[in-house]
Structure 1
Amino acid sequence: MTESVFKPQIHQQQEARDTFSPVVLIRRLVWKMAFATLLLMAVGSATRVMNAGLACPDWPLCYGQLIPTQQMNLQVFLEWFHRLDAALIGISAIAFVGLSCWYRKVLPNWLPGAAIFALFLIVFQGVLGGLTVTQLLRFDIVTAHLGMALLFFSTLVIIATALIPHKGTQAAGKLSWIGLTAAILVYLQSILGGLVASRWALHQCFAGFQLCNVMNGHILGVLPPTAATIALVWFAWRTPGLHATLRKLANAAAALVTLQILLGIATFKLHLQVEPLTVTHQAVGASLLGVCIAFTVLSLRDRTRQTASSMNN
């Protein structure tokens, strides 16, 4: 009788300890940073399509102020909020490094190094952000700025997914390679899309048939990542015993790639005249990248577990 009374209490105490364990706290922090980075890229896209990239003519302040209340309008707000979000992510990255080093004895050995690498990426991203303003939105710097943001986002997703408790079913096989291929192709296509946006290639092609090769490259470039994502979904559906989380990620990839194609067609047909549509197109692309990376990490862990099991046998 006494034992049955105390079992629920022991279970609750264990859950409380797990909730406030260093691994759980850091994992939650990294996921929040990842979602904040996704928001940062969406706001950055809105800043571009609203011609607000130079709404704050100086950097890192805006009109020499932390909050430019007198100059505030929609364009200034977008650029100012973009910088605010980036600053909060930077502070979070510093906290991430501090927590990883402080609790390093109870954390995976690779985590402090990964945290330092993520901090390096966000610092470099801040430098590129400053250069986009001081160099008056040079297209190569703007494209590199997006590429670094996607790399930082990918790093956070890798770290957070690696910290998720995942026993796996040892059924993933070579799906990790398909996921990695899809992730790389989606990343490259996103960079190409950033180049199209930073050079305003779509507008110039429609207006005077200039830079049509850049625009057409992005249109044709949709084929490899789409094919890789479809292959990922197909083989995931046909793999018996695959972990439920991996199946959910595969379904999410299928939904996102379908939505992304529809958004791309609509954006092209409407000549980028509907700003929310353009912003959503970029955000869905980044989300698809995150899903492919999460699938790759979990399937790789599943495969590693399968290899270890085979060696033990």
Structure 2
Amino acid sequence: MKALKVLVSSAVVLAMLVILLGAYTRLTDAGLGCPDWPGCYGFLKVPEQAHHIEQAEALYPERPVESHKAWNEMIHRYFAGTLGLLILAIFLFSLKQKRLLLPSLLLGLVVFQAALGMWTVTLALHPVVVMGHLLGGFSLLSLLAVYWWQLQPTPLIAVKQSLKLLFWPVLLVLAAQIALGGWTAANYAALACIQLPVCEAGWTSQLNFDEAFSLHLGYDNYEYGVMSQSARATVHVMHRVGAVITLLVVAAYAIALWRTSAGLMRNLAVAVLVLLLLQFSLGLANVVLHLPLANAVAHNFVAANLVMCLVVIGYQLHRNKESAYA
């Protein structure tokens, strides 16, 4: 059991690092830093010697080697691959503990994540795949956190039945907003509006929902986006509207949880509130400061932690005994 706890704890930390590296890779436009998968220009690492670079560019003449982008991509792949092996080890160790549900889900999800990573390259950053890869990474972190939670001696706490029931719509609101954020990033719409509170003057007449939420099939390359400016602005506006809705819904839920709970659950509610306010502030800073790299990476990372915290709350709520006043 001790070895399993160490493995799961290590996987949680590594999953956070992979999410950070993934965000950094995407935000430095390095998603196609290596035009093939799982290697890089046919090599296991970034080609650096002159004759290797010549060979690489002969294989992919449309994409000259940019070492800094290629290394960003490959470092992310190395860490993601290590995480996959770690989750495989968790699954094998879990066989002895007869705790197979979550380890099986984790193993299946990390294999699917690897496939999404491959499709991200082979489909040239198709927005649906990029968004799915983001959601998969957040889901993987959340499930790892739940498994870590399962292995700890956490107490059962009486909770209101209404809080259990409300958890699912609250999680749905947060997941929808995360998906909108992923869609915004995947379609290069983060700077489509650079004024507050909503967008530039006349934005209401520019809305283009049909194009904004089209799958945009049939393009050879989606790097830097294929949407028109009006469609990108529509996506951006919807993400801002979603941010306000998410702030109100998740904050109200966390406050209700804080007021009616005690101890551990109260601390988790405070953590959600802090992360929520930090995430909203980082979103505002992205607009005001025109998407600085460190701030944008932090926005992605805090979102992952916010989802993780809420999922852990949901797990704890559904394993708790109902209170007498539920």
Please state if 1:33 is matched with 2:21.
no
Structure 2 residue corresponding to 1:263, chosen from 282, 285, 292: 282
- What is the CA deviation profile of residues 159-190 of structure 1, one whole-angstrom value per residue up to 9, with x for unaligned ones? 22233212233245433334443333222211
Please state if 1:93 is matched with 2:71.
no
CA-atom RMSD in angstroms: 2.3
- What is the CA deviation profile of residues 238-290 of structure 1, one whole-angstrom value per residue up to 9, with x for unaligned ones? 22xx3411111111111111111110011012232x11110100111111111
Q: What percent of counterpart residues are identical?
A: 28
Which residue number corresponds to residue 46 of structure 1? 24
Which residue number corresponds to residue 108 of structure 1? none
CA–CA distance in 1 between the matches of 2:4 and 2:164? 25
Structure 1 residue corresponding to 2:308, chosen from 275, 285, 290: 290
Which structure dedicates a bigger proportion of its chain to helix? 1
Q: 1:1-313 to 2 correspondence within 5 Å?
A: 22=1, 24-68=2-46, 70=48, 73-104=67-98, 111-171=99-159, 173-204=161-192, 208-239=229-260, 242-272=261-291, 274-303=292-321
Query: Structure 1 residues 224, 40: closer, same or farther in 2, change over 3 A?
Result: same
Whichever residue aligns with residue 255 of structure 2, its letter is W
Whichever residue aligns with residue 246 of structure 2, its letter is P
Shift of 1:73: 4.1
Whichever residue aligns with residue 271 of structure 1, its letter is H
Shift of 1:119: 0.5
CA–CA distance in 2 between the matches of 1:35 and 1:114? 18
CA–CA distance in 2 between the matches of 1:209 and 1:289? 30
Query: Structure 1 residues 204, 258: closer, same or farther in 2, change over 3 A?
Result: closer
Structure 1 unaligned residues grouped into runs of 5+: 1-21, 105-110
Q: Is the 8 A contact 2:275 2:306 kept in 1?
A: yes
Aligned length: 276
Shift of 1:205: 5.4
Whichever residue aligns with residue 82 of structure 1, its letter is H
Q: TM-score, normalised by structure 1?
A: 0.81
Query: Structure 1 residues 208, 115: closer, same or farther in 2, change over 3 A?
Result: closer
CA–CA distance in 1 between the matches of 2:77 and 2:298? 20
SS in 2 for 1:61: coil
Question: Which region of structure 1 is more displaced relative to structure 2, 280-289 or 292-301?
Answer: 292-301
Whichever residue aligns with residue 78 of structure 1, its letter is N
Shift of 1:48: 1.1
CA–CA distance in 2 between the matches of 1:116 and 1:233? 30
Whichever residue aligns with residue 74 of structure 1, its letter is H
Whichever residue aligns with residue 247 of structure 2, its letter is T
Q: TM-score, normalised by structure 2?
A: 0.78
Whichever residue aligns with residue 251 of structure 1, its letter is V
CA–CA distance in 2 between the matches of 1:291 and 1:225? 15
Query: Structure 1 residues 302, 256: closer, same or farther in 2, change over 3 A?
Result: same
Shift of 1:302: 1.9
Shift of 1:64: 2.6
CA–CA distance in 2 between the matches of 1:178 and 1:220? 21
Query: Structure 1 residues 228, 303: closer, same or farther in 2, change over 3 A?
Result: farther
Question: Which region of structure 1 is more displaced relative to structure 2, 254-263 or 170-179?
Answer: 170-179
CA–CA distance in 2 between the matches of 1:188 and 1:208? 23
Q: Is the 8 A contact 1:171 1:243 kept in 2?
A: no
CA–CA distance in 2 between the matches of 1:119 and 1:41? 17
CA–CA distance in 2 between the matches of 1:67 and 1:46? 19
SS in 2 for 1:211: helix
CA–CA distance in 2 between the matches of 1:68 and 1:75? 10
